Amino acid sequence: MKVLKFGGTSVGSAARMKDVAKLICDGEQKIVVLSAMSGTTNSLVEISDYFYKNNPSGALEKINTLEQKYIDVIEELYSTAEYKTEAKKIIKSHFEYLRSFSKAVFTLFEEKAILSQGELLSTNIFQLYLKETGENSTLLPALEYMRIDKNSEPDTAYIAENLEKQLQLQPGKTLYITQGYICRNFYGEIDNLQRGGSDYTASLIGAAIKAEEIQIWTDIDGMHNNDPRFVEGTQPVPYLHFEEAAELAYFGAKILHPTCILPAKLNNIPVRLLNTMEPKAHGTLISMQSKKGTIQAVAAKDNITAIKIKSGRMLLAYGFLRKVFEIFETYQTSIDMITTSEVGVSVTVDNTKRIDEIVNSLKKLGTVTVDTDMVIICVVGDLPSENVGYQAKAVAALKDIPVRMISYGGSNYNISFLIKATDKQRALKALSHGLFE
Ligand code: ASP
Ligand code: MG
């Protein structure tokens, strides 16, 4: 069985939902994961914010606006009065639920319940549409099988067992429609897989049922070899290795959520990135196979802070790096990139919440310099050391750009450069020019 995931824009209007229905109705059995309609989760975040700020009338105003959007969608989506009435009932129940928070104490728990409404709405409306058109479909309630553990990691055994149960409860359906993003936590409360987490849902489902393929449908024809927002003439990359895709997703390629790769990789399930606007296009196939001897793509990760710790006295001594890393561990901040020399070490972080405490502690170990507004440029491809010349090409392409750090050899798939944010576009263009033209 295949798992297909459609993002917020793909279900962002009645017309787009109809397109998705056309795409998935080919008689083949599949599980279809949907995000909330585009803009909905952001609105729900805003609504929660009003509740947090103890301004229920602000929240109610936003709720009414959002509800109207759904009422308009219904008018366009269904053709019969019967189904319009049915859909209105569904919508009403969700929006009444949202309004009910006016009276309650508002905590993270309530917020998560609110955030779950987007995916519940989109899947309910969509499956009702399939019903109207006579498709053999049903809903798979994510809150009955998707679960995270105490450490907020997916509980894969629980997911596999309970997803199977849900499938057994409704055998013989052609289309199983389910919610992305939402789940329950260790305590059984409504929770989520973090923003953009619907890709993760699809991948976890794929892993749980040992799917034949996981398809992530978006608005672009696969992962491009550079960022189309900054560089003209980028091209889709037809094949990527899991590791290459993971690097690209983590280092800035917005098309795929970085968490999505691991469950697929562990179970060796190919992930295909496809375009709803151009369903016949090849897109990108992510699997164990990689294209040998080539640089595949470039991505950039913004808002990076670099920290340099210089200490001639201590670096030669063993245990220095441990002390550095322990400080980052104490302040629960993960390091992205690292370079070392005899007299110093540079690391980068993207989470600066506890940077002051970190810098304070690092000062006990050496002289500390902090550079903000940096960008990691990640060059991805088949780059083991035997493949002579590829890193030279990347470095040569950046010959006019001031580079603060270079990291190569951490994996066989990537070279990372740290540069100033102000040089980002120039660097991306130079790399496209030097590597792909
Ligand atoms: N609706 C959620 C979000 O906007 C999850 C997703 O779209 O993947 O973050
Ligand atoms: Mg997304």
Question: Using H for helix, E for strand and C for coil, what is the string for 339-401?
Answer: EECCCEEEEEECCCCCHHHHHHHHCCCCEEEEEEEEEEEEEEECCCCCCCCHHHHHHHHCCCC
Tokens representing 289 are 């196979």
Average pLDDT on 342-358 reads 94
- Ligand 1 centre from 44 Cα, in Å? 11
Q: Which two tokens stand for residue 120?
A: 């519940």
Mean local confidence (pLDDT), 385-409: 93
Going by pLDDT thresholds of 50, 70 and 90, the confidence category of residue 255 is confident
- CA of residue 226 to ligand 1 center, whole Å: 24
Confidence at residue 314, expressed as pLDDT on a 0 to 100 scale: 64
Split at pLDDT 50, 70, 90, the class of 177 is very high
| 6-14: average pLDDT | 97
Q: Which two tokens stand for residue 182?
A: 């939402």
Helix (H/G/I), strand (E/B), else coil: 297: strand
CA-201 nearest atom, ligand 1: 8
Residue 276, amino acid: T
Q: How close is the Cα of 123 to the center of ligand 1, in Å?
A: 13
What is the CA 340 to chain-centroid distance, rounded?
31
Residue 368 Cα to ligand 1 middle (Å): 38
Q: Which two tokens stand for residue 165?
A: 């149960």
Token code pair at residue 400? 């006019």
Check if the beta carbon of residue 20 is closer than 8 Å to that of residue 6: yes
User: Could you tell which of 35, 116, 204 is best to mutate to test the pocket of ligand 1, judged by most ligand atoms within 8 Å of the CB?
Assistant: 35
CA distances from 47 to 100, 101, 116 (A): 12, 10, 13
Per-chain mean pLDDT for the chain: 95
- Of 198, 5, 58, 203, the residue nearest 115 (C-alpha): 198
Checking if the pLDDT of 167 tops 70, the result is yes
Confidence grade of residue 316 (pLDDT, cut at 50, 70, 90): low
| Residue nearest ligand 1's atom 8 by CA | 196
| Encoded tokens for 253 | 């390629």
**Phi (first) and psi of residue 396, to 5 degrees:** -65, -40
Q: How confident is the model at residue 59 (pLDDT cuts 50, 70, 90)?
A: very high
Domains of the chain in sequence order: 2-219 (3.40.1160.10), 296-435 (3.30.2130.10)
pLDDT at 290: 82
Q: Is the pLDDT of residue 341 over 90?
A: no
pLDDT the model gives residue 311: 85
- pLDDT tens profile 138-156: 999 999 999 999 999 999 9
Residues with CB under 6 A from ligand 1: 7-8, 35-36, 41, 118, 180-181, 195-198
Provide the percentage of residues in the chain whose pLDDT is more than 70: 99
Mutational pocket test of ligand 1: of 47, 126, 198, the residue with most ligand atoms within 8 Å of the beta carbon: 198
Question: Quick check: 393 pLDDT over 70?
Answer: yes
What pLDDT, in 10s, does the model give residues 97-150?
A: 999 999 878 999 999 999 999 999 999 999 999 999 999 999 999 999 999 999
Ligand 1 centroid – CA 98 distance (Å): 18
Asked if pLDDT for residue 241 goes beyond 80, the answer is: yes
- Determine the average pLDDT of the residues in 275-281: 94
Residue 18: count other Cβ atoms within 10 Å of its Cβ.
15
> What does the alpha-carbon distance between residue 249 and residue 118 come to, in Å, rounded to a whole number?
24
Query: Could you tell me which residue, 30 or 387, shows the higher pLDDT?
Result: 30
Element (H, E) at 290: none
Q: Report whether pLDDT(253) > 90.
A: no
The per-residue pLDDT for 251 is 85
